Chains A and B, each alone.
Chain A
Amino acid sequence: MDGDRSTLAGLIEACREAIAANAEHLCALDRAIGDGDHGTNMKRGCEAVYAERGELDAMPLPRALERIGMTLVMTVGGAAGPLYGTLLIEMGRRMEGGRAKDRLAHALPEAVEAVARRGRSQAGEKTLLDVLYAVQSEVLKQETPARIAAAAGMAARDTIAMKAMRGRASFLGDRSIGHMDPGACSCALLTDTICRYIGESQLA
């Protein structure tokens, strides 16, 4: 994430495509333990961000992230909107100034904490936070994009065995065990998409 403006619109497009291709899968996961709209909600949010990609491209990365977060808050609905929105808004606000890599390492943990506060949740409660903590830990170790994506995927799979403590899935109690958390799934999917994109632009 070096703030190269020519890549932000491309990255937004890649995320939109990944969510669109997996929207039905995300809805199916959500139908099992929630209200079944996570894929539709995320798709709506990604479409809204995609529509603004031109303007976003012209902004410095921190401001663009903040703006993307705000768009997600206003369009995703459900709890995912405020959670993803908070992540990006806080990242943007904390990335002002300094070198890109240092800024990311500094901003990510604080943004993840803000998500935890927003959701009044913590690790191990079967939410997208389980993926975010895994990503944060790999980023702080300065792992490669491929390793970061792999850790995110593994963290999402680990939510299958967990019992939901937050969100609507928590109403199911033990019956939530055995299903992957849809938020963790979309988070791993987006992480994978972003890491692939960064990996490919580094090779190019």
Chain B
Amino acid sequence: MKVNGAHVGIVIVSHSPLIARGTADMVRQMVGDSVPLAWCGGNADGGLGTNVGDIVEAISSAWSEAGVAVFVDLGGAETNSEMAIEMLEPARARRVLICNAPLVEGAVMAAAEASGGAALARVVATAEELSP
């Protein structure tokens, strides 16, 4: 598990592991290793879907003392992410936010903001400006 305090972490949750991984690749290309980053996608059987255990793991792996911004695609990804956040210890759960933003654009914008050392609220707000 990365221990990072300076930069907000980014987590990407998609129903499709290919989309999640591809989005993470784009974030990496943009900000390199300066931001903690993790992705997950697919259900417990390896099909399309999301699952809480993988989301908890992704948040832990991208954990930063500055907090973590989570990007989701469709409904179940959001509901499962909320559930995952509630399962974290409360001190951590308070520092994880789900962004209401498009997955790819939101994650890339947020990561760029995070790489500059912005606080969690600022990172989330920047990504959410993309939402209509």
A→B interface (CB under 8 Å): 35, 37, 40-41, 44, 73-75, 77-79, 81-83, 85-86, 118-119, 166-168
| 29 residue pairs from A and B, CB less than 8 Å apart | A37-B43, A37-B48, A40-B45, A41-B43, A44-B43, A73-B83, A77-B44, A77-B49, A77-B50, A77-B51, A77-B76, A77-B80, A78-B43, A78-B80, A79-B75, A79-B76, A79-B79, A81-B52, A81-B80, A81-B83, A82-B52, A82-B79, A82-B80, A82-B82, A82-B83, A83-B79, A118-B83, A166-B75, A167-B75
| Complex CA–CA separation, A74 to B52 (angstroms) | 6
Asked if residues A118 and B79 are in contact (CB atoms below 8 Å), the reply is: yes
Please name 16 further chain A to chain B contacts, defined as beta carbons within 8 Å, in addition to the given A35-B15, A118-B83, sorted by A numbering.
Answer: A37-B43, A37-B48, A40-B45, A40-B47, A41-B49, A44-B43, A73-B52, A73-B83, A74-B51, A77-B50, A77-B51, A78-B76, A81-B80, A82-B80, A119-B79, A168-B74
- Within 8 Å CB of A44, what residues of B? 43-45
A interface: dominant SS:
helix
| Complex CA–CA separation, A48 to B86 (angstroms) | 22
Residue picked from A75, A78, A85, A118, most chain B C-beta under 10 Å: A78
Residue picked from B43, B48, B79, most chain A C-beta under 10 Å: B79
B80, closest chain A residue (CB): A82
- Within 8 Å CB of A74, what residues of B? 51-53
B interface: dominant SS:
loop
A70, closest chain B residue (CB): B87
| Complex CA–CA separation, A53 to B79 (angstroms) | 26
- Within 8 Å CB of A167, what residues of B? 75
A45, closest chain B residue (CB): B44
- Within 8 Å CB of B74, what residues of A? 168
Give the shortest distance, in Å, between B28 (CB) and chain A (any CB): 27
B74, closest chain A residue (CB): A168
- Within 8 Å CB of A85, what residues of B? 83
B78, closest chain A residue (CB): A79
- Within 8 Å CB of A40, what residues of B? 45, 47
- Within 8 Å CB of A77, what residues of B? 43-44, 49-51, 76, 80
A-contact bits for B45-62, CB 8 A (1 contact / 0 none): 101111111000000000
